[in-house]
Amino acid sequence: MTPPLKTFDDLVGRASPWLDGSGPHADLVVSTRVRLARNLAAVPFTHRARDEQLQGVFASVTGAADRTAAFGDALTLRMNELSALDRQILVERHLVSHELSDGVRPRGIVIGGEERLSLMVNEEDHLRLQAMASGFQLAEAWRVADGADDELDRALDFAFSEEIGYLTSCPTNTGTGLRASVLIHLPALVLLQEIHKVLKSIMQVGLNVRGLYGEHSDVMGNLFQISNQTTLGQGERDSIESLERVTRQVLETEERARERLTRDARVQTEDKVWRAYGLLRYCRAVSSQEVINLCSAVRLGVSLALPGLCPLPVVNELLVLTQPGHLQRHYGGELTPPERNVFRAQLVRERLAAAERNGGPEPPP
Protein backbone atom coordinates (compact mmCIF):
# COMPACT_ATOMS: atom_id res chain seq x y z
CA MET A 1 0.00 0.00 0.00
CA THR A 2 1.27 3.47 -0.90
CA PRO A 3 2.20 5.46 2.25
CA PRO A 4 0.19 8.66 2.83
CA LEU A 5 1.45 12.01 1.61
CA LYS A 6 2.60 14.15 4.52
CA THR A 7 4.88 16.71 2.85
CA PHE A 8 5.64 18.17 -0.55
CA ASP A 9 8.87 16.16 -0.51
CA ASP A 10 6.80 12.96 -0.22
CA LEU A 11 4.91 14.01 -3.35
CA VAL A 12 7.91 14.73 -5.57
CA GLY A 13 9.84 11.78 -4.20
CA ARG A 14 7.72 9.27 -6.09
CA ALA A 15 6.33 8.92 -9.58
CA SER A 16 2.73 9.84 -10.33
CA PRO A 17 0.67 6.61 -10.42
CA TRP A 18 -1.03 7.58 -13.68
CA LEU A 19 2.38 7.17 -15.34
CA ASP A 20 2.88 3.55 -14.31
CA GLY A 21 1.54 2.08 -17.57
CA SER A 22 -0.68 -0.40 -15.70
CA GLY A 23 -4.08 0.55 -17.09
CA PRO A 24 -5.96 -0.89 -20.09
CA HIS A 25 -4.55 0.11 -23.49
CA ALA A 26 -1.62 1.81 -21.73
CA ASP A 27 0.50 1.48 -24.88
CA LEU A 28 -1.94 3.85 -26.60
CA VAL A 29 -3.48 5.89 -23.78
CA VAL A 30 -1.14 7.45 -21.22
CA SER A 31 -3.86 8.52 -18.78
CA THR A 32 -7.53 9.25 -18.19
CA ARG A 33 -8.89 12.22 -16.28
CA VAL A 34 -12.34 13.20 -15.02
CA ARG A 35 -12.80 16.70 -13.61
CA LEU A 36 -15.86 18.24 -11.95
CA ALA A 37 -16.33 22.01 -11.49
CA ARG A 38 -18.33 23.18 -8.46
CA ASN A 39 -19.00 26.48 -6.64
CA LEU A 40 -20.38 27.38 -3.21
CA ALA A 41 -23.86 28.85 -3.33
CA ALA A 42 -23.38 31.83 -1.01
CA VAL A 43 -20.08 33.13 -2.42
CA PRO A 44 -19.38 35.09 -5.65
CA PHE A 45 -17.36 33.30 -8.33
CA THR A 46 -13.62 33.38 -7.79
CA HIS A 47 -12.93 36.30 -10.14
CA ARG A 48 -15.59 38.42 -8.36
CA ALA A 49 -14.92 37.36 -4.78
CA ARG A 50 -12.82 39.31 -2.28
CA ASP A 51 -9.74 37.64 -0.84
CA GLU A 52 -11.38 37.24 2.57
CA GLN A 53 -14.28 35.42 0.90
CA LEU A 54 -11.85 33.12 -0.88
CA GLN A 55 -10.13 32.46 2.45
CA GLY A 56 -13.52 31.33 3.73
CA VAL A 57 -14.00 29.09 0.69
CA PHE A 58 -10.58 27.52 1.26
CA ALA A 59 -11.38 26.84 4.91
CA SER A 60 -14.83 25.40 4.11
CA VAL A 61 -13.64 23.17 1.27
CA THR A 62 -10.52 21.81 3.00
CA GLY A 63 -12.51 21.24 6.20
CA ALA A 64 -15.16 19.29 4.28
CA ALA A 65 -12.48 17.31 2.42
CA ASP A 66 -10.83 16.32 5.72
CA ARG A 67 -14.09 14.67 6.80
CA THR A 68 -14.43 12.50 3.68
CA ALA A 69 -13.09 9.01 3.09
CA ALA A 70 -11.82 10.10 -0.34
CA PHE A 71 -9.48 12.73 1.13
CA GLY A 72 -8.92 11.23 4.57
CA ASP A 73 -5.13 10.97 4.15
CA ALA A 74 -4.69 13.96 1.84
CA LEU A 75 -1.97 16.60 1.62
CA THR A 76 -3.20 20.21 1.58
CA LEU A 77 -1.00 22.88 0.00
CA ARG A 78 -1.50 26.65 -0.18
CA MET A 79 -0.16 28.17 -3.39
CA ASN A 80 1.11 31.33 -1.68
CA GLU A 81 3.24 29.21 0.66
CA LEU A 82 5.03 27.39 -2.18
CA SER A 83 7.96 28.61 -4.22
CA ALA A 84 7.50 29.33 -7.91
CA LEU A 85 9.50 26.17 -8.65
CA ASP A 86 7.28 23.98 -6.48
CA ARG A 87 4.15 25.44 -8.09
CA GLN A 88 5.63 24.63 -11.49
CA ILE A 89 6.16 21.04 -10.38
CA LEU A 90 2.44 20.75 -9.58
CA VAL A 91 1.63 21.95 -13.12
CA GLU A 92 4.06 19.44 -14.61
CA ARG A 93 2.40 16.63 -12.64
CA HIS A 94 -0.99 17.70 -14.09
CA LEU A 95 -2.26 18.44 -10.59
CA VAL A 96 -2.92 22.17 -11.00
CA SER A 97 -3.55 24.57 -13.87
CA HIS A 98 -1.34 27.51 -14.79
CA GLU A 99 -4.05 29.80 -13.41
CA LEU A 100 -4.03 28.17 -9.98
CA SER A 101 -0.23 28.14 -9.87
CA ASP A 102 0.16 31.94 -10.00
CA GLY A 103 0.34 32.00 -6.19
CA VAL A 104 -1.28 35.42 -5.86
CA ARG A 105 -4.76 34.88 -4.37
CA PRO A 106 -5.89 32.49 -1.58
CA ARG A 107 -5.66 29.31 -3.60
CA GLY A 108 -4.56 25.76 -2.95
CA ILE A 109 -4.89 22.08 -3.64
CA VAL A 110 -5.87 18.98 -1.68
CA ILE A 111 -4.06 15.88 -2.98
CA GLY A 112 -5.28 12.38 -2.15
CA GLY A 113 -2.84 9.90 -0.65
CA GLU A 114 -2.13 8.10 -3.93
CA GLU A 115 -2.29 11.25 -6.10
CA ARG A 116 -5.17 9.73 -8.08
CA LEU A 117 -7.66 12.22 -6.66
CA SER A 118 -7.11 15.93 -6.13
CA LEU A 119 -9.11 19.07 -5.45
CA MET A 120 -8.11 22.51 -6.73
CA VAL A 121 -9.54 25.31 -4.57
CA ASN A 122 -10.28 28.82 -5.88
CA GLU A 123 -9.16 28.34 -9.46
CA GLU A 124 -11.68 29.53 -12.07
CA ASP A 125 -14.32 27.83 -9.89
CA HIS A 126 -14.30 27.37 -6.13
CA LEU A 127 -13.67 23.63 -6.54
CA ARG A 128 -12.15 21.58 -9.34
CA LEU A 129 -12.33 17.92 -8.35
CA GLN A 130 -10.05 15.69 -10.46
CA ALA A 131 -9.61 11.91 -10.71
CA MET A 132 -6.68 10.48 -12.71
CA ALA A 133 -6.08 6.91 -13.86
CA SER A 134 -3.43 5.07 -15.84
CA GLY A 135 -4.39 4.01 -19.35
CA PHE A 136 -7.94 4.05 -20.71
CA GLN A 137 -10.23 3.98 -17.65
CA LEU A 138 -13.04 6.49 -18.12
CA ALA A 139 -15.60 4.49 -16.14
CA GLU A 140 -13.22 4.00 -13.21
CA ALA A 141 -12.10 7.65 -13.14
CA TRP A 142 -15.76 8.72 -13.23
CA ARG A 143 -16.62 6.32 -10.37
CA VAL A 144 -13.87 7.79 -8.18
CA ALA A 145 -14.74 11.41 -8.99
CA ASP A 146 -18.48 10.85 -8.57
CA GLY A 147 -17.98 9.18 -5.18
CA ALA A 148 -15.83 12.04 -3.89
CA ASP A 149 -18.32 14.58 -5.29
CA ASP A 150 -21.17 12.90 -3.41
CA GLU A 151 -19.22 13.06 -0.16
CA LEU A 152 -18.41 16.75 -0.61
CA ASP A 153 -22.00 17.52 -1.63
CA ARG A 154 -23.22 16.28 1.76
CA ALA A 155 -20.94 18.77 3.54
CA LEU A 156 -21.08 21.79 1.20
CA ASP A 157 -23.89 23.80 -0.37
CA PHE A 158 -23.10 23.81 -4.09
CA ALA A 159 -24.51 26.45 -6.45
CA PHE A 160 -27.14 24.46 -8.36
CA SER A 161 -30.16 25.26 -10.52
CA GLU A 162 -32.93 22.70 -11.02
CA GLU A 163 -33.34 24.02 -14.56
CA ILE A 164 -29.69 24.38 -15.62
CA GLY A 165 -27.61 22.24 -13.29
CA TYR A 166 -24.35 23.22 -11.58
CA LEU A 167 -23.52 26.91 -11.93
CA THR A 168 -19.96 27.68 -13.01
CA SER A 169 -17.82 30.74 -13.66
CA CYS A 170 -17.50 29.91 -17.37
CA PRO A 171 -20.77 29.09 -19.19
CA THR A 172 -19.03 26.32 -21.15
CA ASN A 173 -18.86 24.28 -17.90
CA THR A 174 -22.40 25.01 -16.69
CA GLY A 175 -24.70 22.01 -16.32
CA THR A 176 -22.78 18.91 -15.32
CA GLY A 177 -19.49 20.76 -14.74
CA LEU A 178 -17.84 17.67 -16.22
CA ARG A 179 -14.65 17.53 -18.26
CA ALA A 180 -13.52 14.01 -19.07
CA SER A 181 -10.38 13.48 -21.13
CA VAL A 182 -7.92 10.89 -22.37
CA LEU A 183 -4.26 11.58 -23.16
CA ILE A 184 -3.69 9.45 -26.24
CA HIS A 185 -0.55 8.65 -28.25
CA LEU A 186 -1.08 8.65 -32.04
CA PRO A 187 2.37 8.41 -33.71
CA ALA A 188 1.37 6.09 -36.57
CA LEU A 189 -1.44 8.37 -37.73
CA VAL A 190 1.00 11.28 -37.66
CA LEU A 191 3.68 9.36 -39.60
CA LEU A 192 1.13 8.28 -42.22
CA GLN A 193 -0.15 11.88 -42.45
CA GLU A 194 -3.69 10.85 -41.56
CA ILE A 195 -3.94 12.66 -38.23
CA HIS A 196 -5.71 15.78 -39.53
CA LYS A 197 -8.55 13.72 -40.95
CA VAL A 198 -8.95 11.89 -37.66
CA LEU A 199 -8.85 15.08 -35.57
CA LYS A 200 -11.42 16.70 -37.85
CA SER A 201 -13.79 13.78 -37.38
CA ILE A 202 -13.32 13.97 -33.58
CA MET A 203 -14.26 17.66 -33.49
CA GLN A 204 -17.23 17.10 -35.79
CA VAL A 205 -18.87 14.92 -33.14
CA GLY A 206 -18.55 17.65 -30.51
CA LEU A 207 -15.31 16.70 -28.78
CA ASN A 208 -12.23 18.86 -28.13
CA VAL A 209 -8.61 18.09 -29.03
CA ARG A 210 -5.81 19.80 -27.10
CA GLY A 211 -2.12 19.37 -26.33
CA LEU A 212 -0.22 17.63 -23.54
CA TYR A 213 -1.13 20.21 -20.88
CA GLY A 214 -4.70 20.83 -21.99
CA GLU A 215 -6.17 24.17 -22.95
CA HIS A 216 -3.82 26.57 -24.79
CA SER A 217 -0.99 24.00 -24.88
CA ASP A 218 0.80 22.72 -27.96
CA VAL A 219 0.78 19.15 -29.19
CA MET A 220 4.15 17.51 -28.46
CA GLY A 221 5.33 13.96 -28.81
CA ASN A 222 2.24 12.98 -30.82
CA LEU A 223 0.23 13.19 -27.58
CA PHE A 224 -3.33 14.48 -27.93
CA GLN A 225 -5.83 15.23 -25.18
CA ILE A 226 -9.36 14.38 -26.30
CA SER A 227 -12.22 15.62 -24.11
CA ASN A 228 -15.96 16.22 -24.04
CA GLN A 229 -17.23 19.68 -24.87
CA THR A 230 -20.94 19.61 -23.97
CA THR A 231 -21.92 20.08 -20.32
CA LEU A 232 -25.42 21.51 -20.73
CA GLY A 233 -28.36 19.33 -21.75
CA GLN A 234 -26.41 16.09 -21.55
CA GLY A 235 -25.94 13.85 -18.51
CA GLU A 236 -22.58 12.83 -17.10
CA ARG A 237 -22.91 9.19 -18.12
CA ASP A 238 -23.93 10.16 -21.66
CA SER A 239 -20.83 12.38 -21.93
CA ILE A 240 -18.57 9.63 -20.59
CA GLU A 241 -20.06 7.01 -22.92
CA SER A 242 -19.77 9.30 -25.95
CA LEU A 243 -16.10 10.03 -25.23
CA GLU A 244 -15.42 6.34 -24.61
CA ARG A 245 -17.06 5.32 -27.90
CA VAL A 246 -15.14 7.85 -29.98
CA THR A 247 -11.85 7.10 -28.20
CA ARG A 248 -12.22 3.39 -28.97
CA GLN A 249 -12.71 4.24 -32.63
CA VAL A 250 -9.56 6.38 -32.59
CA LEU A 251 -7.62 3.57 -30.87
CA GLU A 252 -8.73 1.10 -33.54
CA THR A 253 -7.68 3.54 -36.27
CA GLU A 254 -4.25 4.01 -34.67
CA GLU A 255 -3.80 0.25 -34.26
CA ARG A 256 -4.54 -0.30 -37.94
CA ALA A 257 -2.06 2.45 -38.82
CA ARG A 258 0.61 0.73 -36.69
CA GLU A 259 -0.06 -2.54 -38.48
CA ARG A 260 0.47 -0.81 -41.82
CA LEU A 261 3.72 0.72 -40.59
CA THR A 262 5.12 -2.63 -39.53
CA ARG A 263 3.94 -4.28 -42.74
CA ASP A 264 4.96 -1.64 -45.27
CA ALA A 265 7.75 0.30 -43.54
CA ARG A 266 9.19 -1.92 -40.83
CA VAL A 267 12.83 -0.99 -41.42
CA GLN A 268 12.10 2.75 -41.51
CA THR A 269 9.94 2.49 -38.37
CA GLU A 270 12.52 0.51 -36.42
CA ASP A 271 15.25 2.90 -37.59
CA LYS A 272 13.25 5.85 -36.24
CA VAL A 273 12.74 4.08 -32.91
CA TRP A 274 16.38 3.09 -32.44
CA ARG A 275 17.72 6.46 -33.51
CA ALA A 276 15.49 8.05 -30.86
CA TYR A 277 16.58 5.56 -28.19
CA GLY A 278 20.23 6.06 -29.09
CA LEU A 279 19.93 9.82 -28.77
CA LEU A 280 18.24 9.52 -25.39
CA ARG A 281 20.68 6.90 -24.14
CA TYR A 282 23.86 8.78 -25.09
CA CYS A 283 22.95 12.47 -25.49
CA ARG A 284 24.98 15.09 -23.65
CA ALA A 285 22.50 17.99 -23.93
CA VAL A 286 18.79 17.81 -24.70
CA SER A 287 15.76 20.09 -24.31
CA SER A 288 12.51 19.04 -22.62
CA GLN A 289 10.62 19.20 -25.93
CA GLU A 290 13.26 16.99 -27.58
CA VAL A 291 12.82 14.42 -24.82
CA ILE A 292 9.06 14.36 -25.32
CA ASN A 293 9.42 13.91 -29.09
CA LEU A 294 12.12 11.24 -28.77
CA CYS A 295 10.10 9.40 -26.13
CA SER A 296 7.22 9.29 -28.61
CA ALA A 297 9.29 7.17 -31.00
CA VAL A 298 10.56 4.94 -28.18
CA ARG A 299 7.02 4.53 -26.86
CA LEU A 300 5.95 3.36 -30.33
CA GLY A 301 8.79 0.83 -30.33
CA VAL A 302 7.77 -0.48 -26.89
CA SER A 303 4.17 -0.95 -28.08
CA LEU A 304 5.47 -2.84 -31.13
CA ALA A 305 7.41 -5.13 -28.76
CA LEU A 306 10.83 -4.30 -30.21
CA PRO A 307 13.43 -6.08 -28.00
CA GLY A 308 15.98 -4.11 -25.99
CA LEU A 309 13.93 -1.01 -25.13
CA CYS A 310 13.16 0.26 -21.64
CA PRO A 311 9.79 -0.54 -19.99
CA LEU A 312 6.79 1.68 -20.69
CA PRO A 313 6.67 3.23 -17.16
CA VAL A 314 10.23 4.53 -17.62
CA VAL A 315 9.26 6.25 -20.89
CA ASN A 316 6.17 7.75 -19.25
CA GLU A 317 8.07 9.02 -16.22
CA LEU A 318 10.63 10.79 -18.40
CA LEU A 319 7.80 12.96 -19.77
CA VAL A 320 7.46 14.53 -16.32
CA LEU A 321 10.87 14.11 -14.65
CA THR A 322 12.66 15.99 -17.45
CA GLN A 323 10.42 19.06 -17.22
CA PRO A 324 12.17 22.19 -15.84
CA GLY A 325 10.58 22.15 -12.38
CA HIS A 326 11.23 18.50 -11.60
CA LEU A 327 14.68 18.71 -13.13
CA GLN A 328 15.79 21.63 -10.95
CA ARG A 329 14.24 20.09 -7.86
CA HIS A 330 16.25 16.93 -8.52
CA TYR A 331 19.40 19.00 -9.05
CA GLY A 332 18.80 20.96 -5.86
CA GLY A 333 18.87 24.50 -7.26
CA GLU A 334 18.14 26.76 -10.19
CA LEU A 335 19.73 26.10 -13.57
CA THR A 336 20.01 28.21 -16.69
CA PRO A 337 18.37 26.72 -19.82
CA PRO A 338 21.73 25.46 -21.21
CA GLU A 339 22.60 23.97 -17.81
CA ARG A 340 19.19 22.30 -17.68
CA ASN A 341 19.80 20.70 -21.07
CA VAL A 342 23.08 19.18 -19.84
CA PHE A 343 21.65 17.95 -16.54
CA ARG A 344 18.52 16.65 -18.31
CA ALA A 345 20.69 14.54 -20.61
CA GLN A 346 22.53 13.14 -17.59
CA LEU A 347 19.26 12.25 -15.84
CA VAL A 348 17.89 10.53 -18.97
CA ARG A 349 21.10 8.53 -19.43
CA GLU A 350 21.02 7.43 -15.80
CA ARG A 351 17.35 6.40 -15.94
CA LEU A 352 17.81 4.36 -19.10
CA ALA A 353 20.98 2.75 -17.81
CA ALA A 354 19.21 1.81 -14.56
CA ALA A 355 16.35 0.30 -16.57
CA GLU A 356 18.84 -1.83 -18.49
CA ARG A 357 20.47 -3.02 -15.25
CA ASN A 358 17.16 -3.80 -13.58
CA GLY A 359 16.14 -6.69 -15.73
CA GLY A 360 15.50 -5.05 -19.05
CA PRO A 361 15.63 -7.26 -22.14
CA GLU A 362 18.92 -7.99 -23.83
CA PRO A 363 19.98 -5.50 -26.53
CA PRO A 364 19.05 -6.52 -30.07
CA PRO A 365 21.72 -8.25 -32.21
The binding site for ATP comprises 31-35, 94, 128, 179-183, 210-215
Please name the residues in contact with 209: beta carbons below 8 A apart, sequence gap of 6 or more. 199, 202, 203, 224, 225, 226
Could you write out the DSSP letters of every residue in 38-64? E-BTTS--TTTS-HHHHHHHHHHHHHH
191 vs 203: CA distance, rounded Å? 21
CB 176 within 8 A of CB 239: yes
2 vs 75: CA distance, rounded Å? 14
Would residue 175 be called left, alpha or beta, if left means φ above 0 and alpha means ψ between -120 and 50 degrees? left
CB 215 within 8 A of CB 263: no
Please name the residues in contact with 114: beta carbons below 8 A apart, sequence gap of 6 or more. 2, 17
35 vs 129: CA distance, rounded Å? 5
107 vs 140: CA distance, rounded Å? 28
Annotated binding site: 31-35, 94, 128, 179-183, 210-215
CA 247 to chain centre: 17
- Longest distance between any two alpha carbons in the chain, whole Å: 68
Closest CA to 246 of 181, 332, 301: 181
